[in-house]
Amino acid sequence: MQQRFIEPDLLGDGELGGGQVSQWKAQGFAFVRGLIPGDLIESLRAAACSAFPQPGSEAASRYTDFGSDKRFVFPSTVTVFNEIILHHHLLRAVSMLLDASIRDVRLTQADLWPKYHRGEKVGLRDNSDQRIHVDYPNHTLVHPTPWHRPEAVELILYLDDVEQTGGGTAVVAREGDDDPAYPWPIIASPGIGGLDYINDREMAEAYLADTRPEFALFRRQLYEREACVRFRPGDVLLYRHDTWHRGTPMKPGAMRLVANMTYRKAASEWISNLHTGWAWSAYRDDKLLERLIATASLEQRAVLGFPQPGSHYWCNETLAAVTARYGMYGFDPEPYRRAMTEAHR
């Protein structure tokens, strides 16, 4: 079967349009170009290329699955990565998709990692040619809410050109409420319920053919309907925890760099953080976390879970204490003090 491709929508001024918002809500994804300024993309790619092993090296062979060994996990010492994670254009896009204010959005995942071409599989969990899947099992303690009540936005930020690297992400567009590819509940995938977790496509489908043949038959239509994003540096795929998708094979000798991020609604506490809490970064000699909190905007702090002006957390004692912790780095307590004053009038 000939592979189908998806071209990105070009954004104006880094803002999603109604068409992209509607597509994400209806089909489960939107693929865009121009969401994040190009100079930030160039800086991030340069930093990542210098940090990770070159393809074909012995060190590169150790990167057999997802993850950057915490070097590019938020908050990162690579400050441009942090800047992109909290960029207003990106946060605004997420808030539009979730019909929420930016202050009602929370960051739960931010990681940048390399994927390398390998000539041989490393076992059932090999990610070279992934089985088609949904991401919710390792993001939430429950099951995603009904389709028209989305609670989270996932995204992939690409730093390379698919024509050079391969490894395009394949997605299956949802086609209406009665789409047979999106039945309720979504459980026909390895790693969900009583099914073993198998990442490799060929092995996963063989396992399902033996254990759950009705699932294997259902999944054939998913592969038949999938289409790959044709990405270039800076392109972003915005999708959902319940969107069928997968990673496809790389080109020989190639390395592909991507950043994965997830943002949820503040009230959806059952959606877990994929990383250690941000506060764990305190005590580092560079005072990275403290400086980031002190200089962030009110919206950026809110996305990290920092109490907003007007929160019941704030009183004279807590405001003085937080100012003592962050004041030397430029923290301004006035927005919180004004909200307290207005609340007591």
pLDDT 10s digits, 106-145 = 999 999 999 998 877 777 888 889 999 999 999 999 999 9
Residues in CB range of 145: below 8 A, 6 or more apart: 151
Whether the Cβ atoms of residue 20 and residue 32 lie closer than 8 Å to each other:
yes
β-sheet bridge partners, residue 103: none
Q: What is the pLDDT of residue 268?
A: 98
The CATH number given to 5-275 is 2.60.120.620
* Per-residue model confidence (pLDDT) at position 65: 66
CB 200 within 8 Å of CB 125: yes
Stretch(es) of the chain classified as CATH 2.60.120.620: 5-275
Q: Are 25 and 97 in contact, with CB atoms under 8 Å apart?
A: yes
Alpha-carbon span 30 to 235, nearest angstrom: 11
Look at the alpha carbons of 310, 313, 316, 319 in this order and tell me if their dihedral is positive or negative. negative
Q: Residue 258's beta-bridge partner residues?
A: 113, 158
Nearest to 48 by CA among 30, 68, 62, 64: 68
Quote the pLDDT of residue 336: 97
Please check whether residue 63 is in contact with residue 115, taking contact to mean a CB–CB distance below 8 angstroms: yes
Express each pLDDT in 320-339 by its tens digit: 999 999 999 999 999 999 99
**75 upstream amide cis, omega within 30 of 0:** yes
Please give the model's pTM, rounded to 2 decimal places: 0.96
Predicted pLDDT at 315: 96
Looking at residue 292, its pLDDT comes to: 97
pLDDT in tens, the chain (345 residues): 568 999 999 999 999 999 999 999 999 999 999 999 999 999 999 999 999 999 888 888 777 667 677 889 999 999 999 999 999 999 999 999 999 999 999 999 999 999 998 877 777 888 889 999 999 999 999 999 999 999 999 999 999 999 999 999 999 999 999 999 999 999 999 999 999 999 999 999 999 999 999 999 999 999 999 999 999 999 999 999 999 999 999 999 999 999 999 999 999 999 999 999 999 999 989 999 999 999 999 999 999 999 999 999 999 999 999 999 999 999 999 999 999 998 877
Q: Of 75, 81, 18, 15, which Cα lies nearest the Cα of 45?
A: 81
- As given in the structure block, the two tokens for residue 53 are 């092993």
For CA atoms 76, 168, 190, 270, the dihedral sign is: positive
